[in-house]
Amino acid sequence: MEYRIEHDTMGEVKVPTEHFWGAQTQRSLENFCIGTETIPMEVIRSFAVLKSAAATANQKLGKMDSSKAEAIAEACNDILQNKYPDEFPLKVWQTGSGTQSNMNLNEVIAHIVNANHSDITIHPNDDVNMSQSSNDTFPTAMNMAAVIMIHEKLIPAIDTLIATMKRLEDENYDVIKIGRTHLQDAVPLRFSQEISGWRGMLEVSKDQIIQASDQLRKIAIGGTAVGTGLNCPAGFDKLCCEEITKLAGEKFEASPNKFHALTSKDGYVFTSGALKGLAANLMKIANDIRWLANGPRCGLGEITIPENEPGSSIMPGKVNPTQCEAITMIAIQVMGNDTTIGIGASQGNFELNVFMPVLAYNMIQSIRLLSDGIISLEKNCVSGIKAKREKMESNLNNSLMLVTCLSPVIGYENAAHCAHKAYEEDKTLKEAVLELGFLSEEEYDKIVRPEKMV
């Protein structure tokens, strides 16, 4: 491998000739050989948007000439077009402020401009980082990445699953089945009503996530090192946010309190909590689906789900609810990520939180996993759910909890007596009621009508 010599304020560093990064990126690579987790590309892309917006804002404020600003914006656009996918290798496990990742962007952008424009010389700190600090750019980029991912990936995924649930409700409106509480038989309901509960969970989670993520639209840019805005011209934060909004397609505004924006990550905690709420609901939905589909002959077996792949290396013909298993694994990962985010956010000291790379990594992973997992669950499982109507009807007619509708007629204790007699003597509920003489057959048939109990 060939090398060139780069320098920073600490001296000279050998950098691979084939790469566009500089001395500080190289130092980070050498000093933090920890794990395999790198800063998510979604954060890198948000950084590129931010650097382009900052250059434009500086140009409008008269701090940077238009040729430099345009060249920086051009390099940032190339990054956004994925022309330099191998230039952002830094690990999550670096400085907690994300300074080295900020410098990674600054160095790569400067080298791209200098390579493509012989008449322009761009400095990573003096030009690309003008009016900025790592302490306000990294929290800005991590907020941007979360908002953009939520609205471009997660919300559309949730909407797709909601639409499928609505279709299943329409298809199964006439199906009446037994309800269950405590994993025990309960009173009847329509299968469509059960599905509507799943849909409602998704709709509420969606609303909660949107509400929470709005907190991340107030960004730290303009606060520079400690929130005072040192070396940042008046109006830069507002102009930068306007440019970010144009480029990102999502609205962002300057935080009115930069001291809060730099040191507190409560918006991240709030948003992660909403993601955890979605994860909890997905866990419940997936568990319901696999319980209802369990069998095929020795379980509840009230629905069928698509058979996507063989389920066993030893048992021929076995098929498992693998999509449900995948989404439940995702759910617990998101819950674990939320714990990390909560702890990390609690560790802000004085004017800065120094857990930002791990916060960003966990947030982006949660959003990505939920988005991809929901799409997979909808496509490979939920869209193919079919009610086994005969099995549902058999379970319904065999349930002792139909006795509930008799309580107002024969009394709670008498109704309980009928249920116990039927269970203990392996009789139908109707047989037990008639044998105990509480009702005639005609009266029983008139009262015990599941379609009127839903």
* Number of helices (H), then strands (E), in the chain: 17, 8
What's the N-to-C CA distance of the chain in angstroms? 73
pLDDT of residue 35: 98
pLDDT of residue 148: 98
pLDDT of residue 91: 98
Contact 229, 268 (CB under 8 A): no
- For the chain, what are the domain ranges? 3-130, 147-183+198-216+262-389, 399-452
Contact 75, 106 (CB under 8 A): no
The H-or-E segment that residue 418 falls in is helix 412-424
Q: What's the pLDDT tens digit per position in 214-247?
A: 999 999 999 999 999 999 999 999 999 999 999 9
pLDDT of residue 130: 98
Long-range CB contacts for residues 190-193, cutoff 8 Å, separation at least 24? 190/454, 191/387, 191/392, 192/168, 193/454
Closest C-alpha among 417, 413, 406 to residue 444: 406
Fold adopted by 147-183+198-216+262-389? Fumarase C; Chain A, domain 2 (1.20.200)
Write down the H helix ranges in 117-183: 134-149, 155-171
Query: Which CATH class, in words, describes the domain spanning 3-130?
Result: mainly alpha
- SS3 (DSSP) at 239: helix
Q: What's the pLDDT tens digit per position in 251-292?
A: 999 999 999 999 999 999 999 999 999 999 999 999 999 999
CA count, 13 A, side-chain hemisphere, 47: 30
Say whether 312 is catalytic.
yes
- Residues 347-374 have a mean pLDDT of 98
Q: What's the pLDDT tens digit per position in 315-359?
A: 999 999 999 999 999 999 999 999 999 999 999 899 999 999 999
- Residues 129-138 have a mean pLDDT of 98
- In CATH, 399-452 is 1.10.40.30: yes
Per the rule left: phi > 0, alpha: psi between -120 and 50, beta: everything else, 252 is beta
pLDDT of residue 285: 98
Catalytic pick among 7, 66, 67, 312: 312
Say whether 260 is catalytic.
no
- Residues 348-371 have a mean pLDDT of 98
Work out whether strand 386-387 and strand 184-190 pair parallel, antiparallel, or are unpaired.
unpaired
What are 285's two structure tokens?
């939905």
- Residues 389-406 have a mean pLDDT of 95
pLDDT of residue 350: 97
pLDDT of residue 186: 97
pLDDT of residue 338: 98
Our measurement of the distance from residue 196's CA atom to the centroid of its chain's CA atoms, rounded to an integer in Å, reads 22
Q: What percent of the chain has pLDDT over 70?
A: 100
pLDDT of residue 155: 98
- Residues 120-129 have a mean pLDDT of 98
Give the predicted TM-score (pTM) of the model. Answer: 0.96
Cis peptide before 296 (omega within 30 of 0): yes
